[in-house]
Structure 1
Amino acid sequence: MVITVTLNPAMDKTITLKGLNIGSVNRAITVREDIGGKGINVSKVLKNFNISSLCTGFLGGELENSFIHDFKKRKLNNDFIHIQNETRANIKIVDSLNHTNTDINEPGPYISKEELKIFIDKFKSMCSKEDIVVLSGGVSPSMPDDIYLHLTKIAKEKEAFVILDADGELLKHGIKACPDVIKPNNHELQKLLNLSDISEENIINAAKVLKNKGIAKIMISLGEKGGLFVTENGVYKCKGLKVPVKSTVGAGDSMVSAIVYSLINNYSDKETLRFATACGAASVALDGTQACTLQQVHELLKEVKCEIKEEF
């Protein structure tokens, strides 16, 4: 089973403008709302890839019903903890004239110690041997920074395979439990290991350091420049694809979905990075936080070239 954890879901409202004028009245061209949060985004993509998953995390307030309704419509399996406070909403401003994307994200609701305990107990009961567990995204300010450390330990004790996609203190603490795969972007990796710059050589060397500490696979997103994949077998690089950028939200989540899909289909490391690169490109070409489809990914996959930089 695939389990995706979203500890701080959000209703993503994407507003498209033709020119954002700060301090003035702006009129939207289009507006769309999508249920979101990184783990949920992963599950949305996996559903389009014909892979079932179980979404879990926290939901509360008036938006909870909207999420549950959307889950039913998408036929997404879900088991969230109900909380007393309101699930957050995020605003994404897409300026089609200046080709910019601006995010305004709420911090998220207060999660009580009792609610957190209920979730952890549920998570323990969910995880089983050979499950794929995706821990991704930020958390509300009330959550401990080491939450992913604890969840990774729980999952690995159950002999599940863990993918961690987080940044800052969440990533710093989470890697102490040695998740099987992590997916930072270049800036997150720079911050994690205090790199002087994000040259390709520095990034690869940093990923090797993490590999030697027990993290088997490190996929690094380079944005429009593509991605790197450092594993026990070698170092792989894919250049980015040129696609019309409509929204950058969810591109990393699509790459995580690609990792899950590749694991289930026994892809090689090289094939995994190629597929992830195509997934990320397919995602940014869609409005809002829509989930890419296999057809869209396979169309782009034809253009993805992968270079083997080192073999171990």
Structure 2
Amino acid sequence: MIYTVTLNPAIDYIVRLTHIESGAVNRMDSSDTFAGGKGINVSRILQRLGYASTATGFVGGFTGEFIKDGLVAEAIGTQFVQVDQDTRINVKIKADQETEINGLGPVVTDEQLAELEDILSHVTADDTVVFAGSAPASLGNQVYNRLIPLAKQAGAEVVCDFEGQTLLDSLAHEPLLVKPNNHELEAIFGVTFDSREDIVRYAKEILVKGAKNVIVSMAGDGALLVTGEATYFAKPIKGTVKNSVGAGDSMVAGFTGEYTKSHNPIEALKWGVACGTATAFSDDLASIDFIREMYEKVEVETL
């Protein structure tokens, strides 16, 4: 089983209009509402690929019920901890520029955190646990230093999709996968990349610090997978980017699902790139048909 942990899920309220004018009344052309959060996005893509997953984390109020109902409607397992305040709403404005307004999230009590710790303590060596995204402000991202070891002590593999110091801290737990983009990798090491070779060099530093596999996504320049055995480059696929929300999560889902099945890093990279690209070219998370179409276009070379 693959578990996805989303500590601060959200309803993603997508608003579309041609142009937004600050300080004026703006009328939308269309809107959509989805269950959101990085781990939840991973579960939604895994389901489309045919992999079972259980989504966990914290939800509360009518917004939390919306998220649980939405996942159940997609046949995704859930094991959330109920909190007292409403799950947040994130507003994604798609106009001439993309603008996001993200909510703060609920307060999580010590007792509620202990419930989640109990869930993670009961995973098994047959499981993979995906930790993704930021924690509510009441916990802070340092809470991952308590949660990730529980899954590891239970024998599970862990996938960690974080930025900055949280990503660096997670490396002590030897994650199966981390997935910084090239700009996040620059920020971690305080450097500027001048070439693909520079990116590979610093991705290997992430391996030295504990990660088993590192994917560096480079938007329109493709993606790199650096492992202990080899480095692979997936060429970019041409198309119109419609959606930056969830593309990285889709890549994590594609890689994790395939790798847990085949342990083949090249195939896992291909499915990761296919999922991430398909979502980037879609209005929402990509459909399985579009993912398969993108998969046929993925070209991987060994560097």
Alignment match, 2:236: 240
Alignment match, 2:82: 82
Alignment match, 1:189: 185
Q: Structure 1 vs Structure 2: percent identity of aligned residues?
A: 33
Letter of the 2:215 counterpart: M
The answer to whether structure 1 residue 307 and structure 2 residue 301 are counterparts is yes
Partner of 2:262, secondary structure, is coil
Q: For 1:154-165, what aligned pairs fall within 5 Å after superposition?
A: 154-165=150-161
Letter of the 1:148 counterpart: Y
Structure 2: where are the runs of 5+ without partners? none
Is the 1:49–1:293 Cα contact (8 Å) retained in structure 2?
Answer: no
Partner of 1:218, secondary structure, is strand
Q: For 1:137-216, what aligned pairs fall within 5 Å after superposition?
A: 137-197=133-193, 199-216=195-212
The answer to whether structure 1 residue 44 and structure 2 residue 44 are counterparts is yes
Instruction: Tell me, in whole angstroms, the C-alpha distance in 2 between the residues paired with 1:205 and 1:150.
Output: 30
Letter of the 2:27 counterpart: R
Alignment match, 1:225: 221
Shift of 1:153: 1.6
Number of residue pairs matched by the alignment: 303
Residue from 280, 286, 290 that aligns with 1:292: 286
With a CA cutoff of 8 Å and minimum separation of 6, indicate the structure with the bigger relative contact order.
Answer: 1
Shift of 1:159: 1.6
Instruction: Tell me, in whole angstroms, the C-alpha distance in 1 between the residues paired with 2:60 and 2:165.
Output: 25
Q: Are the structure 2 counterparts of residues 8 and 225 from structure 1 closer, same or farther at C-alpha, using a change threshold of 3 Å? A: same
Alignment match, 2:112: 115
Partner of 1:138, secondary structure, is coil
CA root-mean-square deviation? 1.6
Instruction: Tell me, in whole angstroms, the C-alpha distance in 2 between the residues paired with 1:171 and 1:23.
Output: 38
Is the 2:247–2:285 Cα contact (8 Å) retained in structure 1?
Answer: no
After superposition, the C-alpha distances for 1:11-47 in whole angstroms (9 at most, x for unaligned) are 0000111122223222211100000101111111111
Residue from 131, 135, 140 that aligns with 1:135: 131
Is the 1:12–1:36 Cα contact (8 Å) retained in structure 2?
Answer: yes
Residue from 242, 257, 261 that aligns with 2:253: 257
Shift of 1:198: 6.3
Alignment match, 2:18: 18
Is the 2:274–2:295 Cα contact (8 Å) retained in structure 1?
Answer: yes
After superposition, the C-alpha distances for 1:153-191 in whole angstroms (9 at most, x for unaligned) are 211212211110011332232222221211111122122
Shift of 1:143: 1.2
Partner of 1:33, secondary structure, is strand
The answer to whether structure 1 residue 281 and structure 2 residue 283 are counterparts is no
Is the 1:162–1:179 Cα contact (8 Å) retained in structure 2?
Answer: yes
Instruction: Tell me, in whole angstroms, the C-alpha distance in 2 between the residues paired with 1:198 and 1:145.
Output: 31
Instruction: Tell me, in whole angstroms, the C-alpha distance in 1 between the residues paired with 2:222 and 2:44.
Output: 22
Is the 2:182–2:217 Cα contact (8 Å) retained in structure 1?
Answer: yes
Is the 1:187–1:198 Cα contact (8 Å) retained in structure 2?
Answer: no
Instruction: Tell me, in whole angstroms, the C-alpha distance in 2 between the residues paired with 1:179 and 1:108.
Output: 26
Q: Are the structure 2 counterparts of residues 265 and 293 from structure 1 closer, same or farther at C-alpha, using a change threshold of 3 Å? A: farther
Instruction: Tell me, in whole angstroms, the C-alpha distance in 1 between the residues paired with 2:114 and 2:259.
Output: 31
Shift of 1:221: 1.2
TM-score (norm 2): 0.95
Q: For 1:70-109, what aligned pairs fall within 5 Å after superposition?
A: 70-95=70-95, 98=96, 100-109=97-106
Instruction: Tell me, in whole angstroms, the C-alpha distance in 2 between the residues paired with 1:198 and 1:183.
Output: 20
Shift of 1:267: 5.4
Is the 1:239–1:304 Cα contact (8 Å) retained in structure 2?
Answer: yes
The answer to whether structure 1 residue 272 and structure 2 residue 258 are counterparts is no
Is the 1:7–1:58 Cα contact (8 Å) retained in structure 2?
Answer: yes
Is the 1:149–1:176 Cα contact (8 Å) retained in structure 2?
Answer: no
Shift of 1:144: 3.4
- Residues 157-166 or 293-302, more deviating: 293-302
After superposition, the C-alpha distances for 1:103-129 in whole angstroms (9 at most, x for unaligned) are 11112112122221221122212x101
Is the 1:259–1:276 Cα contact (8 Å) retained in structure 2?
Answer: yes
After superposition, the C-alpha distances for 1:42-71 in whole angstroms (9 at most, x for unaligned) are 111111111111110000122122122212
Structure 1: where are the runs of 5+ without partners? none
